[in-house]
Amino acid sequence: MKNSKTVLIDRHPGRSAQTIGLANALGTDPELIHEPSVGVVGTKGDSQCYLGVAEKVEAIHEALKGRIGREAGKLPFRLVQPEFTIATSDGVRNGTPEMRYSLIGREVTNDALCEHLEATGLAGTIAVVACDKPPVGTLAALLEHNQPSIIMSDGPIRPGTDPETGDTLDIVSAYQVAGNPDAEFR
């Protein structure tokens, strides 16, 4: 006798065909397609802020995929493919007409993630975000969705040390140096 999941798949091939196909493409067990879904999301945009985010999302997705299955000790979840929102950086677009697109970054990110989270019914989400507006939009979407989530703010900008002065360098000091008209300050 077939288990109830197999019967459900057999009785509704149109409804389940894409989900089965996606499970096969992701290398996950098609028998888990009716289990709660989990996934990884990230932010991408026209800025160095986002460099490395896609690779981190893929690495987390692969690690999560290794933890999912029907075997003992594995998590019985359906894994969805990673999704990304778009954004435009203020730093790249300051003083241009395109800046207006950066200003709505929170809302665009929030709308896109609300759509994804609700449409897939994610029961758990890991989000890798960067820059300044997408993390706010992501956090708002995760809070609205009200399911277990982890948000990780990331990107390539890490603090360092000025080799000449020994002063700590970070994103704030970089803008202070770039914006100071005094040539000796640079």
Output the 3-class SS for the chain. CCCHHHHHHHHCHHHHHHHHHHHHHHCCCHHHCCCCEEEEEEEEEECHHHCCHHHHHHHHHHHHHHHECCCCCCECCEECCCEEEEEECHHHHCCCCCHHHHHCHHHHHHHHHHHHHHHHCEEEEEEEECCCHHHHHHHHHHHHHCCCEEEEECCCCCCEECCCCCCEECHHHHHHHHHCCCHHHC
My answer on whether 44 and 89 are in the same domain is yes
Write down the pLDDT at residue 9: 46
Domain range for 170: 156-186
Write down the pLDDT at residue 45: 82
Write down the pLDDT at residue 96: 82
Instruction: Report the candidate in 97, 92, 112 with the shortest Cα–Cα distance to residue 46.
Output: 92
My answer on whether 65 and 119 are in the same domain is yes
Write down the pLDDT at residue 6: 47
My answer on whether 127 and 98 are in the same domain is yes
Write down the pLDDT at residue 180: 63
Contact 37, 78 (CB under 8 A): yes
My answer on whether 64 and 102 are in the same domain is yes
My answer on whether 90 and 147 are in the same domain is yes
Examine residue 55 and state whether it is found in any structural domain, yes or no. yes
Domain tally, the chain = 2
My answer on whether 182 and 108 are in the same domain is no
Dihedral sign, CA of 54, 59, 64, 66? positive
Measured CA to CA, the distance from residue 78 to residue 76 in angstroms comes to 7
My answer on whether 139 and 49 are in the same domain is yes
My answer on whether 112 and 182 are in the same domain is no
- Tens-binned pLDDT, residue by residue, of the chain (186 aa): 444 444 444 556 677 888 889 899 999 999 999 999 999 999 988 777 788 899 999 999 999 999 999 999 999 999 999 999 987 776 667 778 888 887 788 899 999 999 999 999 999 999 999 887 888 999 999 999 999 999 998 765 566 777 888 887 776 666 666 666 666 655
